[in-house]
Structures are given as C-alpha cells and as structure tokens.
Amino acid sequence: MKIGILALQGDFAEHTATLKKIGVETRLVRLADHLENLDGLIIPGGESTTIGKLAEDYQLIEPIREFGKQHAIWGTCAGAILLSKDARRLQPLLQLMDITVERNAFGRQVASFEIDIEVPVFAELDPNDSHPFHAVFIRAPLIESVAGSTMVLSTLPDGQIVAAQQGKLLATSFHPELTPDDRFHRYFIKIAKRK
Ligand code: GLN
C-alpha cells in the first residue's frame, strides 16, 4: 500500500505524518510520473485556486482525473473543492465527484471553528467505537449538495453536509490531518484497498 500526497501547496506534511503514524508508505506527488504505482492520492487543505493553477501549470489535471477513475482520492478542505464538479465560480477543478461546494461558506479565517461530528461509517473500522470525530474547520467549504451515487458521511447538527463519498472518492470540508484522531485516514486506506 502506497499513498501519494499532492504536494503543490497546503498542509501535505501533516497528511504524510498521519499516514506514517499508521504505518502507510507515502510519496509526495508533484509531477504526473509520481502517480505511478500508487494505491491512492490525498489532496490536502490549502488554497484551492492556488493548488488548481499549479496543477494546471504542472500538467497534472488530466493525469489525476484518469487516476481517479480507478483509484481512491481524498480531498480535505481545498482538496474537496478540487474534487467537486462545481464550485459555482470559475477555477481549475478535477470535477471527479458529484458534489457542489460553496467556498468559504462559514466566513473568513476568524470564523474558523472546531466541532464534534458523528461519522456513522467509522463503525466499519471498529463496531465498538464510533465516538464523535473532532473536526477542525478553517475557511472551510460546505458541500452544498450531492448527486448521483454520492453518499453523505457526516453533517453538522443543522444538517449541512461536511463529508461525502462516491465510490473510491472521499471529500471532507474539514482537516482530519490536524488532529490526532486517525480514523479518517484509516477509513481512506480501507477504501483504497478495495478492488
Ligand atoms: N478557503 C480555501 C479555499 O477556498 C480552503 C481552506 C482550507 O483548505 N483550509 O480553497
């Protein structure tokens, strides 16, 4: 099992650290060649416009799209925006997942917040342990709507969607790489292992 982490901008180092902690081999991805023989890819949090423009400059958009047709990809925050079909404004997107996102839906940096959310699919990791997940939101997008075969994995108490999955594609509005709880990383590895 080897997971790539897109390392153009954003908090790719934190994802690397969490994967190392759970014993998963990693590779930083900066060029299309780096996708070879990977079982999955993480697109980190950061600034989606910056990551998207750099991905265009490095001719990564099409290769990642192709990779995502077969393999697992997880986008956290800015990464979730890149995975979306529609961010309701013009910016480079991978458009792999049937989700529409609203960028900066909770306001500016100062409006960042942390909250415990329920993630029922964690019962698949350990049926005896599905305690709430402490989620960190930093200028986060909201998953405004999901379509097609996309499943909602978690919502805020008011019902707004913050985590979704479509096949091997995973999107979270928040940053599991910034907290010690590694259940989202382990859940992603489980998806990546599926044939
Ligand atoms: N606000 C950023 C964007 O729109 C995402 C923020 C983040 O990844 N923490 O791309």
What are the pLDDT digits (tens) for 93-144?
999 999 999 999 998 888 889 999 999 999 999 998 889 999 999 999 999 9
Task: Calculate the CA 15 to chain-centre distance.
Answer: 11
Say whether 77 is catalytic: yes
Q: Summarize pLDDT for 36-62 with one digit per residue, the tens.
A: 999 999 999 999 999 999 999 999 999
Residue ranges per structural domain of the chain: 2-193
| Best mutation site among 53, 77, 175 for ligand 1 pocket (most ligand atoms within 8 Å of CB) | 77
Ligand 1 pocket by Cβ (under 6 Å): 45-48, 77-78, 81, 103-104, 138-139, 141
Given the DSSP bridges, would you call strands 169-172 and 72-76 parallel, antiparallel or unpaired? parallel
| Best mutation site among 81, 90, 137, 175 for ligand 1 pocket (most ligand atoms within 8 Å of CB) | 81
Burial 58-83 (b: 16+ CB within 10 A, else e): eebbebbeebbeebbbbbbbbbbbbb
The three-class DSSP label of residue 48 is: helix
Options 1.10.760.10, 3.40.1190.20, 3.40.50.880, 3.40.50.150; which CATH number does 2-193 get? Answer: 3.40.50.880
Q: Sorting pLDDT into bands at 50, 70 and 90, what band is 25?
A: very high
| Model confidence, pTM | 0.97
Going from the Cα of 87 to the center of ligand 1, the distance in angstroms, rounded, reads 12
